[in-house]
């Protein structure tokens, strides 16, 4: 049986991976009895984790959201991954999160055990942006959170926009999607005063304190944010969108994380810790390989050619992992 501290960490990690767990399955995964699982759940509750009991034949558990942030527990791999992500955010120009990321990095480093701190100190990551014609303007993280909250709550958003904000009434929109493209954040919304779809740069938005009433979402032209955004910018000359192969996937990563690595793709939120990525390439295998670099679970939205390319690469990589050499160029 693992030590209590290690077992608590394993239990917490399991509870974070899906909504409900039965007591029997948890006991089996941890290699302990149901009684031990109940005691460990009580210990986590004492530490501040809101774990609710779920009714069932053998009982179950669900990790809820608490009113306060309880002590965080990370295994070694999680701590290293978090540190690397914060280093990238802290050194990425123009993302508006550099200073809070640096503070978070220092806080985490102070509570790390010495064995991990030495490993992290030896690893220095700096994000280098590729040159672009128009550098991105930093966006305040609080602005992104305010816009995202209005999108998810389906509440009318009121904000001042641009340098002329003091001379005109605030904009009133139905916010639909918060996306990032080419280093900038954009809001796609229905403008209530102009009775039309509009795309707003997030760095020019200053939200008003109170949102308006809830609204019923309208159907976005083109069917999704990627199609709408690409068609809008293709007409204005801001984006070509002319890759011969273009596909869309759902990644099991937050939009903000994917945006750190994606300059050529269109990223939009698709739920908690998930995002929708539209990307182009010169070939379907090349596109599949570019998407695979994000190191996350992938759900292909379309087209079928992209699914076939993933299948082709999977078979090729399986042969490589098995130690076999090259076969025919078409396999």
Q: What confidence tens digit (pLDDT) does each residue in 216-264 have?
A: 988 887 777 777 776 665 433 333 345 678 889 999 888 777 776 666 6
More confident residue, 120 or 299: 299
**Does residue 74 carry a pLDDT above 70?**
no
C-alpha to C-alpha distance for 31 and 24, rounded to whole angstroms: 10
More confident residue, 160 or 103: 160
Q: Are 249 and 306 in contact (CB under 8 A)?
A: yes
Q: What is the pLDDT of residue 284?
A: 86
More confident residue, 239 or 105: 105
Q: Which of 9-13, 120-124, 292-296 has the lowest mean pLDDT?
A: 120-124
**Does residue 123 carry a pLDDT above 80?**
no
**Does residue 180 carry a pLDDT above 80?**
no
Q: What burial letters (b/e) apply to 235-267, b meaning 16+ CB within 10 Å?
A: eeeebebeeebbbbbbbebbbbbbbbebeebbb
Distances (CA, A) of 234 to 157, 228, 230, 231: 27, 10, 6, 5
- Which pairs count as long-range contacts for 193-198, CB under 8 Å and 24+ apart, including other chains? 197/221, 197/228, 198/173
Q: What is the pLDDT of residue 229?
A: 73
Q: What is the pLDDT of residue 239?
A: 38
Q: What is the pLDDT of residue 233?
A: 55
Q: What is the dihedral of CA 10, 11, 14, 18, to 10 degrees?
A: -160
Q: What is the pLDDT of residue 45?
A: 82
pLDDT, averaged across the chain: 76
**Does residue 51 carry a pLDDT above 60?**
yes
More confident residue, 135 or 313: 313
Q: What is the pLDDT of residue 97?
A: 65
- Percent of the chain beyond pLDDT 90? 8
Q: What is the pLDDT of residue 37?
A: 87
- pLDDT tens-place string over residues 89-101: 766 655 566 677 7
| pTM for this prediction | 0.43
Q: What is the pLDDT of residue 157?
A: 92
- pLDDT tens-place string over residues 187-212: 889 989 888 888 888 888 988 877 77
More confident residue, 145 or 124: 145
SS (H, E, C) the chain: CCCHHHHHHHHHHHHHHCCEEEHHHHHHHHCCCHHHHHHHHHHHHHCCCCEEEECCCCCEEEECCCCCCCCCCCCHHHHHHHHHHHHHHHHCCCCCCHHHHHHHHHHHHHHCCHHHHHHHHCCCCCCCCCCCCCCCCCCCHHHHHHHHHHHHHCECEEEEECHHHHHCCCEEEEEEEEEEECCEEEEEEEECCCCEEEEEEHHHEEECCCCCCECCCCCCCCCCHHHHHHHHHHHHCCCCCCCCEEEEEEECCCHHHHHCCCCCCEEEECCCCCEEEEEEECCHHHHHHHHHCCCCCEEEEECHHHHHHHHHHHHHHHHHHCCCCCCCCCC
Q: What is the pLDDT of residue 300?
A: 92
Residue 21's pLDDT band (cuts 50, 70, 90): confident
Instruction: Provide mean pLDDT across the span 149-175.
Output: 83
**Does residue 277 carry a pLDDT above 80?**
yes
Q: What is the pLDDT of residue 73?
A: 61
């Amino acid at each position: 049986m693992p030590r209590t501290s290690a077992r608590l960490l394993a239990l917490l990690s399991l509870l974070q991976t899906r909504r409900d767990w039965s007591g029997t399955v948890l006991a089996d995964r941890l290699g302990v009895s149901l009684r031990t699982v109940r005691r460990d759940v009580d210990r986590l509750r004492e530490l501040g984790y809101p774990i609710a009991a779920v009714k069932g034949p053998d009982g179950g558990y669900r990790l809820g959201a608490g009113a306060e942030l309880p002590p965080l527990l990370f295994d070694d791999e999680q701590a290293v991954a978090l540190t690397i992500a914060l280093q990238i955010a802290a050194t990425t120009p123009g993302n508006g999160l550099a200073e809070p990321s640096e503070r978070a990095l220092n806080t985490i480093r102070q509570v790390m055990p010495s064995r991990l701190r030495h490993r992290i100190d030896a690893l220095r990551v700096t994000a280098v942006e590729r040159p672009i014609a128009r550098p991105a303007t930093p966006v305040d993280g609080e602005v992104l959170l305010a816009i995202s909250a209005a999108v998810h709550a389906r509440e009318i958003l009121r904000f001042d926009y641009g340098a002329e904000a003091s001379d005109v009434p605030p904009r009133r929109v139905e916010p639909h999607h918060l996306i990032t493209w080419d280093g900038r954040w954009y809001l796609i919304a229905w403008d209530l005063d102009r009775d039309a779809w509009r795309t707003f740069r997030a760095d020019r938005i200053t939200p008003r304190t109170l949102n308006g009433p809830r609204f019923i979402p309208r159907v976005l032209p083109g069917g999704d944010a990627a199609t709408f955004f690409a068609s809008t910018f293709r007409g204005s000359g801001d984006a070509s969108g002319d890759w011969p192969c273009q596909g869309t996937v759902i990644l099991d990563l937050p939009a903000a994380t994917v945006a750190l690595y994606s300059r050529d793709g269109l990223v939009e939120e698709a739920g908690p810790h998930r995002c929708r990525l539209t990307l182009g390439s010169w070939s379907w295998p090349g596109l599949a390989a570019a998407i695979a670099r994000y190191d996350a679970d992938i759900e292909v939205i379309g087209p079928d050619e992209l699914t076939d390319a993933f299948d082709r690469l999977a078979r090729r990589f399986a042969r490589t992992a098995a130690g076999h050499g090259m076969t025919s160029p078409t396999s």
